[in-house]
Structures are given as C-alpha cells and as structure tokens.
Structure 1
Amino acid sequence: MERIEQHASWGGRQEVWKHASSALGVEMKVGVYLPPAALAGQACPVLYWLSGLTCTEQNFITKAGAQQFAAAHNIILVAPDTSPRGEGVANDDAYDLGQGAGFYLNATQAPWASHFRMEDYVTQELPALVAKHFVTTGKQSIFGHSMGGHGALTLALRHPGLYQSVSAFSPIVAPSQVPWGQKAFTAYLGEDQAQWAAHDAVALIAKAQERLPLLVDQGLQDDFLDSQLQPGLLEAAAKASNHPLTLRLQPGYDHSYYFIASFMEEHIAHHAAYLK
C-alpha cells in the first residue's frame, strides 16, 4: 500500500491509500481515517463504510463529517471505492452499471466477472491489508449508503460472525424487486433469480444464521424512496423472521450527504457500543 494523501483532522489523520488489488485485478484507492489513539500506536477497531452509486472513496471522507465522531470513539474508518476502475475494466454508459456501480458482489457473467469481485475485496482482501498496515483490535463493523447500504446489509447477513454490527442509510433493501437491482443483477449474475436472492437483504433475512441487529435510517423526502428503496419490504421481512431491526423514517430528509451527516454521530455511536 502507498499513501497518496493525508490531512490532520480532529486530532487524527485522514489518509488515502492506493494498492494493487489481487481480487479485482486493478489498482484501488481507499480512504483511511486514523483517530488519535491509532496515531499513538494503540490498537483500534475498524468501521467500514460502503458508498453508493457513482461515488469514489472521496465522497464519504469529504462530506459525511464522520472523522470527529470516529476520533471521539477511537475507531479507524475505512472507505473503499465502489468498484474496480480503469482501462480494460468493463463499463457501461449508464451511471448505475459498471464502474462506480459494483453492488458489492462477485460477478459471474462476462464481461464483468474478471474484475467485479467487490464481495471478496471488501470481506477478505481489504481487511487483511488493514490488519497488516494498521494496529487493530481485530473487531470490525460495517455501514453504508444506498447501494452501499445494500452492501453493508447483505455482506453482514452473508458472512455471520465477520462484523460486530451493521447499519445503513437509505439502503436498497430488496434489489431483486427494484430497477437498480434488477438491472445490475441481470448484468452481473445472469437471469437466475435464485442467484439474485443470495444478494438481497429482504431474502437473506428469512434464513439469517445470525441475529445481528439492523439499524436503518431513511429520509422521507428521498426521491428514490418508492421506486428503488422501499424500506417497508425490509420491515416486513424482519417482522416475519423476528429479526431485530430499528427502522427510523426521518421526515424532511433526502438521499444526500446532508442526510447522512445529520445522523452520522448516532450511527458511529451505535457501532462503538459493539466494537468495545
């Protein structure tokens, strides 16, 4: 890993690193916030953030206002890019497929399968790199927004025991049932909807091996609420399976980072309680 950016922030340091990814076959960038305790050489837990469609590692680290709360709880924040990028990586002219739209799964279909292996990257390769280059306690949690909220929920449900806690802002909870997910899943996974269900939070809850409590915030002025997000489907699935869910519907808030920043303190405090 090579550090390419660093800024003092809330007594800690916001950094950006680049590295060659064996899972994705390209060079990747990742934001890493080191709280004061980490700079002092103390072991700290790690909280992973997964961003939404079109985002890079920069959106979260510049807009979410998360550093001050990570500093207060001495949590390392890790925010990877949303997909592989570059020449030779498959892409699409639309914003919701290809580069910037990895959906945090391992693609099985051409031309995506050779590079789009974001599940392996987030759950295996990146944690190994973080553990190698930074002093951690070995405890980790995950959260995200929109497509990244989908990623946080599904990766936590698919990998029981890997994360101490999970939360999401405006997640795509049932990608198999909405246009964003149907388009991406058809391209990345093919036509077999049984494969789709394996990456769909609403479907996964029914057979979850771990009752990890889910915290979800959703703005009620979100332009994508009815067409793409439909949090009521998650609420119904959780109720049917008796899965712990705290769904908070926030009046007046939209899909933007203004919404995310407004509740970031509460989400990081939520994770801090599990990461102690």
Structure 2
Amino acid sequence: MSLQEKYTLYNGVEIPKLGLGTWFISDDDAAQAVKDAVKIGYRHVDSAQAYQNERGVGKGVRESGLDREDIFVTTKLAAEVKSYDEAVASIDESLEKMGLEYIDLMIIHSPQPWAEFGSEDRYEEGNLEAWKALEEAYEAGKLKAIGLSNFKKEDVQNILENGSVKPMVNQVLAHISNTPFDLIEFCEENDILVEAYSPIGHGELLKADDLEEMAKKYDVSVPQLCIRYCLQLDLLPLPKTANPEHMKDNAGVDFEISDEDMNTLKNRAPLEDYGEASKFPVFAEG
C-alpha cells in the first residue's frame, strides 16, 4: 500500500486511501504539519471549520511545492450551520480562509449541532438546507465532491431521498472495537465511501496488550495494525498527528492481516472508555 493509492468516488473523483487528520493541530502549526506530510508522501489532508486551522492547512497546501491538483483537501461545514444562507456564506468563508480556488471535498460535520449531538431531533430540514448549499457549490465547481460526517442511516436516508446530488462520502468514528458494520454496509450499498476518523481509537487502543501482541506477529506497530484493519474493510482512515515520525509510521501499512486475525479484530469487545476524549460528543456516544 502506497500513499499514492486511491479510491474512486462514484462521480469519478479520485481520493487517496490514507489521509492526514488535523484535529487538535493549531492554525499556527497546521502549515508545517501539511508540508511535513507532503514531504513524506501524503496527498490527502482533512480539516474542518471547527478545527480552526483552515488558514494554516491552506497555507501548507499552497507552500507544499506541489501543484494544487496533487493534494486532496477536505474541510467540513460546522455542525451548527443548519440554514441555506449560513451554509452558502460558510462555504465561501472556507475557500477564502484556505486561499484555494476549490476544495476537493466538503462535508457536513454532524447531522446535529454539537450541543445536541445524539438527541432525538435529527435536524432533517436544516441538513437539507445545508446540503442544498453544498450541491450548488459542487455544481459551480467550488467543491469537487460533497459528503457527510457522523450521519447515521436515517440521516443519510434523508439526504438520499430529498437531495438532488447523492453524498460521495460519510466520515464516521470507526476503529477496532467500534466499527459500525451496518452503517458501513448501508453506505457501500449506496456507493458512499466510508472514511474512518480516530482509527486508533483516539489513542486508547495503544494501551491494549492483545493488539500489541498481534502487531508484533506482523512486525508492525499498533497504529499500523489499526490503520491496516480499516483499509482491509475498504474504509479510508484519517489518523491525526503533527509528528513527522508518527506520519511515517502511520503510512507503513504494506502488509496483510490474515482472515482469522481480521475476524478476531472485528469481534473484539467494544471500547467503552475514551479517557479524556470521552467529553467530546462523538466519543461519549461511542
């Protein structure tokens, strides 16, 4: 597996199979992180309005030494944006902050505002308004692909049934011990690529003795085992780090996990405690 390998979205856009996540990387540090990643061979960077580092990520892309079309850039519409006008303004604001003529992929960060994540209100109308703005930006060429994040089956269904452009991706929490197989299957049936954020369980899987043992068998690190697991499920992992050594390690996934071991990993007991990260809605629900 090389960093240049790609999946093809249903609209023909190619997306590198491994991306650099930038959550928790500050705006000041983001440009250097992107440049370091590009030097190592990464061609896919994932940001978000909520990360407050779009300016830095865009700067890193522009100063990477590569042509713009050689780097796949993702950002996310803030979870709180649930009206058409706000979404239109937010899309243009991201383009301006990043200093880019287009964004490769823009996705709705969550079907619900973070303060209400996991509540009964699924914000169907608000999501359709935000989606309409993304559709128009896509048709105008400002965005090369559009998608979703943290959307459950019912939320995806709402977009499929009422939108005019089908989502290209759904980015969700997916890792060993917490893999939403039903959701993944549903997305795949609808030609929606599933991206896996926090593929190492926000670092909690590093503490697992059984994973350490299995990783040794393949002569790899636990992060490499976790990332390879996602790739073998045809997911697109987005490990996040600003550390060049970790970036290199995360990309060293040119090995194959046996069917038997994959089965063991698929059936591993759920991870119920994300440590300090448990305060974040996505992990609290997980």
Is TM (by shorter chain) over 0.5?
no
Of Structure 1 and Structure 2, the greater strand share is in: 1
Of Structure 1 and Structure 2, the greater helix share is in: 2
Give TM-score, length-normalised by structure 1: 0.33
